Structure 1
């Protein structure tokens, strides 16, 4: 992907190096050699290792809002800086999420807290990652007219995401696993708050603020993006069960982990008494035979067709809502997001 003839991912990563260097020389803290080395290693391990889609989306969205006008070097850098703030936010969430879930791996490597000599120091590292965001914003955006709006935006989205994580944790609380809780409104609320706001709304909101827009005028855009984020998570849940591990890059574990997945919610809505008994006996068990029994039930209930119908209807509804937006540049931003995820296989 190129912006102004540049390879955006390569240049995006160069901005990471600059931001990291800033943080390692932040005058608010008197670094020792050991502390600087720790932060450097912690950042490299946790921040730039993902797909970077959220961060790069800020650049893509701002470019579309400019309706094809070229970005100068400063505009490109500021877009990237905001994009990296989102990647920092993601890293903060994941470091702490892995501790809470007692996870083993992340992005094909051991979770940060699993590394020798890290352990629960990772909890403080998560706090540091979160605190790096306002340090970056203060350094590069303090003189901008939208600086306070940026701070408010990141604070609000962080609160929404943490609240969504809380809903997820208390719904799937170990020792209190109850399939009766797994209903579509509960699922939608978890997904919207835990994933959709920071993954879909936040990148576009950053680009809108950089473009001089007032976010209060874009409530309908927020609603579309949150709905798109919900659709994205439903896809994730579907691929966790029916996707090819070689394609999606992981072996799904939603069944073993007793996740409030879209598939199990749909199964509960459709299951007869015997099928519900099968779910109660097998869902949340690590035994491969139990996992296979749940997957067989999903196929018996034809959830692949149910998903296909949901995907088509969601796409048509989203396109209709996007085309009702009066701002053509905003329409293009929203369509670009939707085209990236529609019928994705990973």
Structure 2
């Protein structure tokens, strides 16, 4: 089996678990005496918004559990890990349905945003709430008897709150209809990225995998002298910079990648996004170059967009990014190499697998 075939098989197996939990959620909903039209609506909401993405976040829960256990998972272990993976995907769906309304977006994953579907409209607000509530229904049904149940609830609630903090800062920093680059900075960008993306996209899947694998809050490693490791803090210290690197890479590809390469037309410039690229340009720009940024960034105008792209080339954003990438990857590799592995503890491969998927990616 080729690597592409193996990847497709993994996805198909993971999607099979979604079908089970979707039917379980709908059965419970119908069992509450909800009318047939409401049951159908909920089914459509789940089918339309949850399974259609790349599924990287959800599948990484399963991958991480396999690495931590160091063997193939039993059917029950796989199912539990996959349920947690789908809880992460439900959280993502909840954020996206709401985010698309806030941004007045048109399409998502190659189809109209849910709120733009005929008859949905503002009902999508409640639908987003139902996607979030489904997480806690699944956690209750499948993990209520586990010793780490309260920790799962805590990490989902905390991560949701952190992501909403980041979303607020992003919305007030870079509204699409009002350009004010004085609000932009690399420090502000980092805050947005870590809170809006890194916690739920990188830390949450790994924390779920660690909990279901019974990784303790702390353990002793046989260094000289012996030292205490707090594995969740250690994971956070690597995964947040990793998530920041991922988003900076995404920002760079929006500017530098072709539509054929990244599967879409980059719109960060015309949409007034507080991206790493424009913040780096602000930091490097002369007063004259800053004036070009102020006059042309965030405008729905192809000529102004061209001027911004030309300025980015003039400022050698590509070279700055290449230096950044090598520097951050070097730092992350050093942190990963320093992890002391013990039975029942964190493994370096958890982080190497994440980094391997991201480093030098082109889409």
TM-score range, shorter chain: over 0.9
Deviation at 1:6, TM superposition (A): 9.8
Match of 1:45 among 25, 39, 48: 48
Pick from 333, 350, 353 the counterpart of residue 333 of structure 1: 350
Match of 2:361, SS state, is coil
2-structure distance, mates of 1:175, 1:338 = 36
Q: Is the 8 A contact 1:201 1:222 kept in 2?
A: yes
Note if contact 1:254-1:261 (Cα within 8 Å) is conserved in structure 2: yes
CA deviation map 1:10-32 (0-9, x unaligned): 11001000000011011673221
Unaligned residue ranges in structure 2 (runs of 5+): 219-229
The equivalent residue for 2:293 is 279
RMSD: 1.8
Conserved? CA contact 2:176–2:298, under 8 Å: no
CA distance in 2, matches of 1:160, 1:5: 31
Give the number of equivalent residue pairs: 345
Note the alpha carbon deviations across 1:118-177, whole angstroms, 9 max, x for none.
111101100000000000001111111111100001000000001100010111135553
Query: Which has the larger displacement, 166-175 or 99-108?
Result: 166-175
Cα–Cα, structure 1 residues 341 and 243, in superposed 2: closer, same or farther, change >3 Å? same
Give, in whole Å, the separation in 1 of the partners of 2:314 and 2:7: 51
2:225 aligns with none
Q: Which residue of 2 aligns with 1:65?
A: 68
Shift in Å, 1:221? 1.4
- Contact 1:92–1:127, Cα closer than 8 Å, also in 2: yes
Corresponding position of 1:239: 253
Residue 229 of structure 1 pairs with residue 243 of structure 2? yes
Q: Does 1:98 align with 2:100?
A: yes
Q: Following TM superposition, by how much is the alpha carbon of 1:341 offset from its aligned partner in structure 2, in angstroms?
A: 0.4
Map of 1:304 onto structure 2: 318
How much has 1:249 moved relative to structure 2? 1.2
Give the equivalent residue in structure 1 for 2:169.
Answer: 167
Per the TM alignment, residue 327 of structure 1 is displaced from its structure 2 partner at its CA by 2.4
Contact map agreement 1:237 1:262 (CA 8 A) in 2: yes
Which residue in the other structure is 2:183 paired with? Answer: 181
The correspondence for 2:89, drawn from 83, 87, 94, is: 87
Residues in 2 aligned to 1:59 and 1:220: alpha-carbon distance in whole angstroms: 20
Which residue number corresponds to residue 55 of structure 1? Answer: 58
CA offsets per residue over residues 300-325 of structure 1, 9 Å max, x none?
Answer: 00000000010111110000011111
Q: Once the 2 structures are TM-superposed, how far is the Cα of residue 330 of structure 1 from its aligned partner?
A: 2.1
- Structure 2 CA distance, aligned partners of 1:38 and 1:199? 28
CA contact (8 A) 1:271 1:301 kept: yes
- In structure 2, what is the equivalent of residue 129 of structure 1? 131
Change (3 A) 1:48 1:285: same
